[in-house]
Amino acid sequence: MKRAEVAVVIPTYNEAGSIERVIRSVIEAVERRGVSCRIVVVDDNSPDGTSEVVKRLSEEMGCIDLLVRPGRMGIGSAYVHGFRYALEQVEGLRAVVEMDADGSHDPSQLPLLIEPVLSGEADVAVGSRYVAGGSWEGNQAFREFISRGANLLTRICTGLRVKDSTSGFRTVSSDLLRTCIATLRGSNKGYVFQVESLATYVGFGARVVEVPISFRPRASGKSKLRVRDVVGFAIWNLKFLLGRTLRRSR
């Protein structure tokens, strides 16, 4: 059994160009705060050799676990796979962090994102671009437009009162995850997982806070966001709204 207070779960698909820097910066940022951490990378057999980079790092540092799946199966199931692993294998675990491997999430902001959960103030801390102090860095106008639209749609359809419910930079208490892991499906292949999991946490009575983050453009590699993901996201939200409306009218 491994021991750590925090597990940082990072799903990867073709992130060989950025994963090493992300992992090194995460370990430095978390340990500087005196918090012990494990990094759990869930790679979907990336053709660019991401897993070889992670394997080399795990041989150099003892706190990295690499889970390789046979092929691209989607970010949601990758997270659920990493969560289950952390809950089962890491002793003394208090919080699980979700984070992208492409450099968009700034590791130096991790301590602030972990704090509300470790202190017991919240069960979920969402890194938010849409609260005071949050921002988009660089030239990402189109991405910001898509993100704002997605958040608006989610707010209307699900009623969630979180400003950045699509954010993939967040901390969840391990107690909460243990309670609802069987309900977290992660079966949708696209990016719905962030909203779906947040709705699950709130359904279990979770206290959610938003912590401002600055969201950087990906450092290298290609975007994995596809038109079908955007369409799938919209359909998921509309189905959720339909379900809510039908339940209310009964």
* Residues at the contact surface with Mg ion, assessed by CB under 5 A: 100, 102, 104, 218
Could you say which of ligand GTP, Mg ion, none residue 37 binds, taking C-beta under 5 to 8 angstroms by partner kind?
A: none
b/e map 210-245, b = 16+ CB within 10 Å:
bbbbbbbebeebeeeeeeebeebbbebbeebbeeee
Give the strand pairing for 37-43 and 6-12.
Answer: parallel
Q: Which residue is nearest to ligand GTP (CB)?
A: 223
- Shortest distance, position 215 Cβ to ligand GTP, whole Å: 9
Q: Find where tokens 């890194």 sit.
A: 127
- Closest of 121, 170, 117 to residue 5, by C-alpha: 117
Closest to Mg ion by CB, 83 vs 169, is: 169
Closest to ligand GTP by CB, 21 vs 72, is: 72
User: How far is it, in rounded angstroms, from Cα 28 to Cα 16?
Assistant: 20
Could you say which of ligand GTP, Mg ion, none residue 78 binds, taking C-beta under 5 to 8 angstroms by partner kind?
A: ligand GTP
User: How far is it, in rounded angstroms, from Cα 110 to Cα 170?
Assistant: 9
> Residues with Cβ < 8 Å from 153, sequence gap 6 or more?
233, 234, 237
Q: Please give the helix or strand (H or E) that residue 83 lies within, else none.
A: helix 75-89
- Shortest distance, position 190 Cβ to ligand GTP, whole Å: 9
- Shortest distance, position 247 Cβ to ligand GTP, whole Å: 30
Closest to ligand GTP by CB, 13 vs 240, is: 13
Q: Which residues bind ligand GTP (CB under 6 A)?
A: 11-13, 15, 42-44, 72-75, 78, 100-102, 104, 168, 191, 218, 223-225
- Shortest distance, position 62 Cβ to Mg ion, whole Å: 28
- Shortest distance, position 149 Cβ to ligand GTP, whole Å: 14
Closest to ligand GTP by CB, 23 vs 122, is: 23
Give the strand pairing for 124-128 and 170-173.
Answer: antiparallel
- Shortest distance, position 216 Cβ to Mg ion, whole Å: 9
Q: Cβ distance 216 to 13 under 8 Å?
A: no
Closest to Mg ion by CB, 81 vs 218, is: 218
Closest to Mg ion by CB, 104 vs 165, is: 104
